[in-house]
Amino acid sequence: MTREKALQIIENMHGNIHLNTKAMIKQLINEIYDDFESRVCKNCFYYFEGTCVCDESPLVTEIVDENYGCNKFKRKRDESIQIW
């Protein structure tokens, strides 16, 4: 589901949903999508100097575009991590 579709569903909800509740849900949806969309390889544990070195990859090391994001993302805990 896209961000726009999720926001549209919330906007179209009627009934006993207070406007402040809708606003909080929309904010939460945006935070979730922002976090997911920020998961590009340069922020990933497996990214090192322009390459993806995820050992689950069939090619082991793949040169990736900095805007690429994969579904095996694991966020770096420490910027000084170096993978050889």
pLDDT of residue 28: 95
pLDDT of residue 84: 46
pLDDT of residue 38: 75
pLDDT of residue 5: 93
Question: Which of 8-35 are b and which e, b meaning 16 or more Cβ less than 10 Å from the residue's Cβ?
Answer: eebeeeeeeeeeeeeeebeeebeeebee
> Model-level pTM?
0.54
Q: What is the pLDDT along the chain (84 residues), one digit of tens a residue?
A: 888 999 999 888 877 778 888 899 999 999 998 887 777 777 777 777 777 776 665 555 667 776 666 666 677 765 555 554
